[in-house]
Chains A and B, each alone.
Chain A
Amino acid sequence: MNQSVLEPNGAEAERIADLALMLFGGAAIIFFGVMALAAASVWGGVSVRRAIASERMIVAAGIAFPVITLTALLFYSLWLMRANIQGNATPPAGRIEVAAEQWWWRITYVEPDGRRISEANELRLPVGREVELVLTSPDVIHSLWIPAIGGKLDMIPGRTNRMRVSIDGPGIYRGQCAEYCGGPHALMAFDVIALEATEFDAWVRGDVAGGSTETVRGRGIFEESGCGSCHAVRGANASGLVGPDLSRVGGRRTIAAGTLPTSRENLTRFIVDGQSIKPGNLMPPFGLFAAEDVDAISAYLMSLQ
């Protein structure tokens, strides 16, 4: 898993990584050139210093050279941005809505037939298919950033930003909120799982697993305790929209938006005392449960895949 600009796995990220390497190389050459010139001006011999000490040198190195270099760079970057400047002629092959909320990700997969499948905190993408991410925020400004796929785009209340992504190969990548959004902004991450297109389609349309005999008790406590007033689980008596959708929470790699690996113990920890793990999140601590009851809930949640 990576969150690195330098290990791209999408068309845009690859273009930018190439650009970055070119910029680093050019900057290194210019930097060492300027430093060598400065060193020569201090410690160089008389004739070297005389050559440096002129307004002609200033005009050549300080005006002519940067103007030419920067003009070339500007046109190169405009060329790299050509897709963004021209706009998209073709409709995207898929659409996923991502709403950033303090401090998690509400994700909705929109099927071609208009069906909407709610998920949270883990973004699955089909390999080789261009998908449009529709980015919004209901509260403060956030920013969606998956370095391996491309640059970031802010999620601004009152506005809708659209980002096209395409990913080259299956794999797991990490993304994170890049705009300071208060409180536990540091704990607002997510995993991106790139699946082969057929696998992706099957996953999106797949049913929610869970409900084995082992977890019936947990499901009962989950439903009776009112968890469903904030959380939704498809097929269960739970349709709250305040917190993350839990329909397939057990199948996610992490809980609490990239904060902890998904496990029965961590789910229990979060239910009992989520505030010490992620201070400020909307979920109150549920210390009132007996230990075996919380464990049963966690077992039930783990079974939701």
Chain B
Amino acid sequence: MTSTAERETAELPNPLPRPRDELRRLQAVWAIPEGWRILSAVNNSVIGYFYIGAAFLFFVLAGVLALLMRVQLAVPGNLFLDQESYNQIFTMHGTVMMFLFAVPAVEAMGVLLLPQMLGARDLPFPRLGAFAFWAYLVGGLVFFSTLFFDMAPSGGWFMYPPLTGSRFSPGTGADFWLLGIGFIEISAIAGAIEIIVGVLRTRAPGMSLDKMPIFAWTMLIFAVMIVFAFPAVILATMMLELERAFDWPFFIPDRGGDALLWQHLFWFFGHPEVYIIFLPAAGMVSMIVPTMAATPLVGYRLIVVALIATGFFSFGLWVHHMFTTGIPAMSLGFFSAASMAVSVPSGIQVFSWIATMAAGRLRITAASLFVLGFLFIFTLGGLTGVMVAMVPFDWQAHDTYFVVAHFHYVLVGGMVFPLFAAFYYWAPAFSRRALSERLGKIAFVLMFVGFNIAFFPMHIAGLIGMPRRVYTYPAGLGWETPNLASTIGAFMIAAGVLVFLLDLIRHLRPTVGASAGNVWNAGTLEWLENDVHAARSVPFVESRDPLWEDARLSADVHKGRYYLPGTVTGRRETIVTSAILAEPQYVVRLTGPGWAHLLAAIFTAAFFLLLTVKLVTAAIICGAVAIACVVAWAWDTDSPSAGDVDIGGGIRLPTYAVGAASHSWWAMIILMAVAGALYLSYVFSYLYLWTVRPQDWPPIAPLASHAGWIASAALLCISAAALWASGRSIRAAVPRLWLTVGLTVVGLLTLLLGLGADVASHWLAGLRPQHSGYAALVFTAGFLQAEIVAAVCIMGIFACVRILVGLTDGRRSVVFDNMVLLWGYGLGQGALGLLLTHGFPRLGM
């Protein structure tokens, strides 16, 4: 132990006293716009609050829908809701809970908590985060309000075709689902990219991965899973919408499509989705339990391994939703094994929490009660999960109320209870007052007892034969008692939520700078004294529970004795560190408040929603405005280098980075992973349909001539050459920027022509997307390539204009580099498309 005098002089990066106006300047650059202008704010604390509020609003709305359903099912033959209303309501309940509550709620917790927890000042792309939130809010509200106009979808949250195809669902409800949810998924991906880069690149110096709080680990895995899982369902929604709007028969069996293709794509997303929701909630529990037990988490490394294993396994068991479709029994065995295996990592976490509670002494607070309730409910849900993973048992239980009971135990137990625990636990960090322990305990008892009364009897209802998704049932089958119990329990849960709302009204006083503080004596950084700029200075982290290890840390951080105690460039800043060891690399300047991202979100939402109601011209105008807004917002994001700056402790960091050091490069790589996952889902679809319907492939269908693919490949090669040459020219010793621009234009044009040659060759051979599932998939390759080409062209024009006005050059090159990355990706995807659509059909000929 070093003496106090020593550490004051030697160990801390910045000396006292701090310059007089340092804090004032710091607060000024991070200031949140006042009054209604708060809508333009991008601070994670503000957006995080909005985000959680919106997610909670959708939780309440979807909960009201659940109550309506429970009233209808309270007695047999009830006439409270008619058939169509019930079908719309159960579809919306599931859809809203999954897409508008669960995923956004955990993403919101990430936005709110991560920067503070990681010792960053904000997330790395504040406007992207705000854009994702506004897009979700506008899209979600419009989507929900379709219920009031009897235009809501009624095909179930899983939207199985052919029921959701235009023949059996001619209204616009299904289109609202496909475009609305597809759009909200894109917003979730935007948030995921931000979270991955935030967790990997903006941690406080010294916070190597093995010192990172478990919640951050779970958010990282959450976001990576979104990157790989969501594209599958985005592709599926895109295909079903193309089928509905333009008659491309992907899922119509009479015309060479296949109904099960949707199920494969949907559940390839849908199963990981369950863990996408559960893992961050488990992460919250891993934060709450150690604090409430006042002891470090037991089994940290085991938990991290368990989390990664869960993420990995969860992609290998989507078929367990399809055990009754008639798939060969041997492959069922494989997926059954995978489904059982995934329960092991969850068990590891449960026993780690139990071990942690035993290692310390658990204080029985409202948050602890919700955690204990979670353990009870989730354990039971996990055990019934093993049951439905047993194929023969699932043949009986599938699509019955047994499964309804099971997944509510897993999802409500695994996600909602931890979320309420989190509300009670973290409220003091974001509110002037803590929430009421007394009201919290009352809310817990109502919710816990109500939950078990509502959902336990559903196991029995299912076993005695009650199927899911029925709007009514006959008397005399023994279903009356369990259903009445479920209805009573549902209203008890609602009463618990009401008590919680009352607690919010009475005690929640949102604040950024004057919170109740570390009332639980927790050990992680989000409990440092925070203001609009997060902590006053960025600490050096040496352990997993820094506030416990160093009792003075909080005070020293607040005095500004650690890194970056003010603003060094006069802008919003945070420290970018290396991904694994968190060594400081550069200081990034972050964007402040603005309107462009907000307008972009509104017009993007308008674009998708107007498409739904077939107002194509208006939609295109909104789309164009949205792109203009994105360009305006992106225009001032690439600030030039401000030279090297001093963050304290003798560390001088650059203020600009290119290549793999740049946080922007990481975001681009992740975006390419999203695009790649989407394309792989497409390749899967193509090959899958071939295994089902090989008879539709050439030579029965017309095959494009050799000239088509040769021309397309040649154009892609020219584009690649131009790409290489433009990259060289911008970094040449004597840069000739006109040459760079010229090469870029040539390269983009040839990329576009390469796509045109490919599509034209199929068209000229006589193939039309409406012919068959095969033909539709061939043209889908062009459709997906067109999306990438369009994005590269917009980025290319943007880069060229900036080069011409002198804002982008060989050193300030992030805009250009990002365009080049996506361009290279587009070339690769184009080549793969040629191999697949021209090469594969020729294999057997």
Q: How far is the CA of A158 from the CA of B60 in the complex (A)?
A: 41
Say yes or no: A178 contacts B398, CB within 8 Å.
yes
Contact assessment for B464 and A6 in the assembled complex, using a CB-CB cutoff below 8 Å: yes
Contact B392 A19 (CB under 8 A): yes
Whether A159 sits at the interface, judged by CB under 8 Å, is yes
B357 touches A38 (CB 8 A): yes
Q: Given A2-B465, A186-B470, are A42 and B399 neighbors across the interface (CB < 8 Å)?
A: no
Contact partner of B372 among A37, A38, A55, CB < 8 A?
Answer: A38
- A37 CA to B359 CA, complexed, in Å: 13
Q: Which residues of B contact A147 (CB under 8 A)?
A: 396, 465
* B379:A35 contact, CB within 8 angstroms: yes
Residue B740, interface by CB 8 Å: no
Residues on the A chain within 8 Å of B350, using CB: 34, 62
Q: A40 at interface (Cβ–Cβ under 8 A)?
A: yes
Which candidate, A77-85, A200-208, A284-292, is the interface stretch facing chain B? A77-85
Q: Which residue of B lies closest to A35 (CB)?
A: B376
**Bound-state Cα–Cα, A3 to B254, Å:** 34
Given A70-B340, A152-B324, also A176-B87 (CB < 8 A): no
Any chain B CB within 8 A of the CB of A241?
Answer: no
Q: Determine whether the beta carbon of B354 is less than 8 Å from that of A41.
A: yes
- Is B690 interfacial (CB-CB < 8 Å)? no
What residues on A are CB-neighbors of B325 within 8 Å?
154, 156, 161
Q: How many residues in B have their beta carbons less than 8 Å from beta carbons of A?
A: 83
Which residues of chain B come closer than 8 Å to A38, judged between CB atoms? 354, 357, 372, 375-376
B230 within 8 A of A: no
Distance in angstroms between the alpha carbons of A15 and B530 in the assembled complex: 61
Whole-angstrom CA separation of A3 from B463 in the bound complex: 9
- Interface digits, B118-140 against A, CB 8 Å rule (1 contact, 0 not)? 00000000000000000000000
Give CA–CA (A63, B352) in the complex, Å: 11
Give B152-199 interface residues, CB cut-off 8 Å to A.
Answer: 154-156, 160, 162-163, 168-169
Q: For chain A residues 1-35, which have a beta carbon within 8 Å of chain B? A: 1-6, 12-13, 15-16, 19-20, 23, 27, 30-31, 34-35
Collect the chain A residues with CB atoms within 8 Å of residue B298's CB: 53-55, 58
Kindly report which residue of chain B lies nearest to residue A54, judged by CB atoms. Answer: B355
Closest Cβ of chain B to A225, distance in Å, is 28
- Tell yes or no: A129 within 8 A of B by CB: no
Q: Which residue of B lies closest to A145 (CB)?
A: B467
* Closest partner residue, chain A, to B348 (CB atom): A62
Specify the chain B residue showing the minimal Cβ separation from A142. B163
Which of A16, A19, A53, A77 lies in contact with B336, CB distance below 8 A?
A77
Query: Is B654 positioned at the interface, with any CB of A under 8 Å from its CB?
Result: no
Complex contacts, A31 vs chain B, CB 8 Å: 379-380, 383
Q: Is the CB of A179 within 8 A of B83?
A: no
B355 touches A74 (CB 8 A): no
Question: Are A20 and B355 CB-contacts (below 8 A) given A58-B299, A179-B399, A186-B472?
Answer: no
B396 A52 Cβ-Cβ under 8 A: no
A38 to B376, CA, bound (A): 9
> Are the CB atoms of B379 and A34 closer together than 8 Å?
yes
On whether the beta carbons of A27 and B259 are closer than 8 Å, the reply is no
Residue A226, interface by CB 8 Å: no
Residue B811 at the chain A interface, CB threshold 8 Å: no
Assuming A27-B386, A182-B155, is B354 touching A52 (CB within 8 A)? yes
Complex: A154 Cα to B395 Cα, angstroms: 10
- The verdict on A158 contacting B351 (CB below 8 Å), with A147-B465, A151-B324 known, is no
Q: B843 to chain A: closest CB distance in Å?
A: 25
- Cβ B348 vs Cβ A58 within 8 A: yes
Q: Is B237 an interface residue (CB 8 A)?
A: no
B363-375 interface mask toward A, CB cutoff 8 Å, 1 = contact, 0 = none?
A: 0100000001001
Report if B449 contacts A (CB, 8 A): no
Instruction: Tell me which of B299, B358, B380, B474 has the highest count of chain A C-beta atoms within 10 A of its own C-beta.
Output: B358
- The complex places the Cα of A37 from the Cα of B464 at a distance, in Å, of 32
Q: Verify A182–B259 contact, CB threshold 8 A.
A: no
> Is B37 an interface residue, CB under 8 A from the partner?
no
Contact B398 A180 (CB under 8 A): no
A242 at the binding interface (Cβ < 8 Å): no
Contact (Cβ within 8 A) B333 A186: no
For the side of the interface on A, what is the size category? 35 or more
Choice from A6, A66, A143 contacting B324 with Cβ under 8 Å: A143
Residues on B with C-beta less than 8 A from A70 are 340-341, 343-344, 386
A34 to B352, CA, bound (A): 12
Docked CA distance A19–B330 (Å): 19
Instruction: Give chain B nearest CB distance to A142 CB in angstroms.
Output: 10
Q: How far is the CB of B91 from chain A (nearest CB, A)?
A: 9
Q: Are B162 and A157 in contact (CB under 8 A)?
A: yes
Separation of A278 and B694 alpha carbons in the complex (Å): 40
Does A92 make an interface contact (CB < 8 A)? Answer: no
Given known pairs A27-B383, A55-B302, A147-B465, the reply for A77 and B351 (CB within 8 Å) is no
| Interface SS, B side | helix
A44 CA to B397 CA, complexed, in Å: 38
Interface flag for A139 (CB, 8 Å): yes
B168: A residues at CB distance < 8 A:
102, 139-140, 182
Instruction: Indicate if the CB atoms of A181 and B354 lie closer than 8 Å.
Output: no
Is B333 a contact of A85 with CB atoms below 8 Å? yes
**A282 at the B interface (CB under 8 A):** no
Q: A150 an interface residue at 8 Å Cβ cutoff?
A: yes
Complex: how many Å from CA A164 to CA B836? 40
- A49 to chain B: which residues have CB within 8 Å? 358-359
B376 CB to nearest A CB, Å: 7
**Which A residues are in CB contact (< 8 Å) with B349?**
62
B645 touches A (CB below 8 Å): no
CB neighbours of A209 from chain B (8 A): none
Q: Is the CB of B602 closer than 8 A to any CB of chain A?
A: no
Check A197 for interface membership: any CB of B closer than 8 A: no
- Chain B's nearest CB lies how many Å from the CB of A213? 36
Report B-chain residues with C-beta under 8 Å of the C-beta of A50: 358
B362: chain A residues at CB < 8 Å are 41-42
User: How close is A273's CB to chain B, nearest CB, in angstroms?
Assistant: 15
* Cβ contacts under 8 Å, B333 to chain A: 74, 78, 81, 85
Q: How far is the CA of A120 from the CA of B84 in the complex (A)?
A: 26
* Interface flags, B454-483, vs A, CB<8A=1, else 0: 000000000111111111111011100000
Check A181/B163 contact, CB under 8 A, given A19-B390, A157-B259.
yes
With a cutoff of 8 Å between Cβ atoms, the chain A residues found around residue B354 in the complex are 34, 37-38, 41, 52, 57
Q: Indicate whether B329 reaches chain A with its CB closer than 8 angstroms.
A: yes
B355:A154 contact, CB within 8 angstroms? no
Instruction: Give the residue of B253, B344, B351, B375 whose beta carbon is less than 8 angstroms from that of A157.
Output: B253
- Structural contact, B329 and A85, CB atoms closer than 8 A: yes
> Whose C-beta in chain B lies nearest to the C-beta of A173?
B465
Cβ < 8 Å to A, chain B residues 318-351:
324-326, 329-330, 332-333, 336-337, 340-341, 343-344, 347-351
Is A192 an interface residue when CB atoms closer than 8 A count as contact? no
Q: Does B150 lie at the interface of the complex (its beta carbon under 8 Å from any beta carbon of A)? A: no
Given the known inter-chain contacts A152-B396, A182-B154, please indicate yes or no for A73 contacting B467, CB distance below 8 A.
no
5 sample A-B contacts, Cβ–Cβ < 8 Å, listed by A number: A27-B384, A41-B358, A70-B341, A159-B259, A280-B83
- Which residues of A are at the interface with B, using a C-beta cutoff of 8 A? 1-6, 12-13, 15-16, 19-20, 23, 27, 30-31, 34-35, 37-38, 40-42, 44, 48-55, 57-59, 61-63, 66-67, 70, 73-74, 77-78, 80-81, 84-85, 102, 139-141, 143, 145, 147, 150-154, 156-159, 161, 174, 176-187, 189, 258, 279-280
Interface residues of B (CB under 8 A from A): 82-84, 87, 154-156, 160, 162-163, 168-169, 253-254, 257-260, 298-299, 302, 324-326, 329-330, 332-333, 336-337, 340-341, 343-344, 347-352, 354-359, 362, 364, 372, 375-376, 379-380, 383-384, 386-387, 390-400, 463-474, 476-478
Q: Given A81-B329, A140-B160, A186-B83, list of 5 further CB < 8 A pairs? A: A49-B359, A62-B348, A152-B399, A153-B324, A183-B83
The 10 nearest A-B residue pairs measured at CB: A151-B395, A158-B253, A3-B465, A186-B470, A53-B359, A41-B358, A52-B358, A62-B351, A161-B326, A53-B358
